[in-house]
Structure 1
Amino acid sequence: MKPAAAIVKLRRVLAGLLFVGMLIPAGAQQIKLPELQAGSRTYRNVTVLGYNETDLYFTHSGGISNVKLRRLDAETQKRFDYNPEAAEAAERRQVEDNLRFNQQVEQTVVEDHERRRLAARRAELIHEASLADPLTEKSLIGVRLPEWKAERWIGAKPDPRDRAQVIFLWAPWSLASRKFLPAMNALHEKLGAEAVFVSLVSEPGNDPEAEAGVRADFATAIDPAAQLVKKLGLNELPVALVVDAKNVIRFIGHPAALNEKGLKELLAKFAP
């Protein structure tokens, strides 16, 4: 027997012994056999370590091993309390236990693969300067921007084809929105040539910017149906999105997480 195969067999026997140790009471006389016949195989100088409903575990002149009780002669079977019906039921349980164990191992492998895939995706999609929300199984980072259509525009409708986009979703009643719109205007002034900036309001008012008392220096889309907000599953505003030229979301989070340096690096990282 090759060394590797011998080690595997030894581990299997020792694992079996964990379940049979109580079948030979402490202090009981050790069972020794000059030889043990199991089918066509003969073991010599046998010392029994333990047994259960299906197997006999022992050392012999050639090492350590185990055999099925059903392979032994009737007299030896009787000595170790062999019951064919009980042994058959025990072997069925062993098969079922092995099946459950293999299924658990398979599930663990699948989950480990998913964790590795997510870690690789995180490394690919999030740059060091990004302050976007943490990437999880439900994250929108790395997925395509859902389709949406504005009911009308304040200012000239931009053409985002083959260009990155910075989308600022906000509401005129939101104090935080009114606070961060000037910051988005500042980013637009610095990086407006590198990306299409869009202000998106999901409110039905005629002039939400007048209502808020602050205006965007770039086009504002009016979407009273809140199509994009609903498709993204947002429950608070404001939110900033950075979308690459292939319409894939590369950042989603609070606009406070975006600064000139971080946005410039993000746009450069995913430039076509």
Structure 2
Amino acid sequence: MTMLRRNLMHAKRYPSMTFSVVVMPVILLLIFNFVLGGAMQAGVGGDDSKYINYLTPGMLLLLPAYMTAAIAVLVSTDVTKGIVNRFRTMAISQSAILTGHVMGTLIQAVLALGAMLGVAALCGFRPEATPIEWVAAIGLMLLIVFALGWLSVAFGLAAPNPESASNMPFPIIMMPFLGSGLVPTDTMPVGLRQFAEYQPFTPFTETVRGLLMGSEIGASGIISLAWCAVIALVGYLWAKSLFRKQSR
């Protein structure tokens, strides 16, 4: 709880990173809907007014993707400034140093999701989800944030400085664009379509879209949970290994 409070205080005192993580996906939502929506609508079918319903679930997945950079930078900053070495000498749980970053990100993610959904609603987003489906969709989003959060912690520990830490999650930030967030994967060239269908953000997007809009989910839900488990486990074990090595 102490480390969680510390990270929330940092977010409050230095809001620029949190602000950019929330605002950039919102700006991209507005650009894709109002600037490119008319052209991209051809890939999803239907009239232009409904593209926001297809687009919003994919844009929601930008939030956990962008948050990876913020977590990595914060962890790397703690390591390079030496505060982590000070924490290691104290009679506290060593895992709390890293867990505080992940838990703080979950709280910020709730606020970011609320902001994104509010803007999408103003743009015409009209979900058809029941209360249970809303809970499932938000729960999945937070699970994705949790999984990517641990991977981001590992990025921050592995990076030599905060500048490098901000660049390491770049492939993750690009993945929502290379999935089914903007257009269906069957409209893509063969090589890109194969990549899009087998990367994690496509089942993430299809599951969230299915829960919110009532479309077919199929096996995407199970695949999404499996991806979250794998990413969280790899990130946690990698971060734990790096933290132990640095302590020695």
Q: Normalization by structure 1: what TM-score? A: 0.20
Q: Which has the higher helix share?
A: 2
Larger radius of gyration: 1
Which structure ranks higher in relative contact order (CA pairs < 8 Å, sequence separation ≥ 6)? 2
Structure whose residues are more often strand by fraction: 1
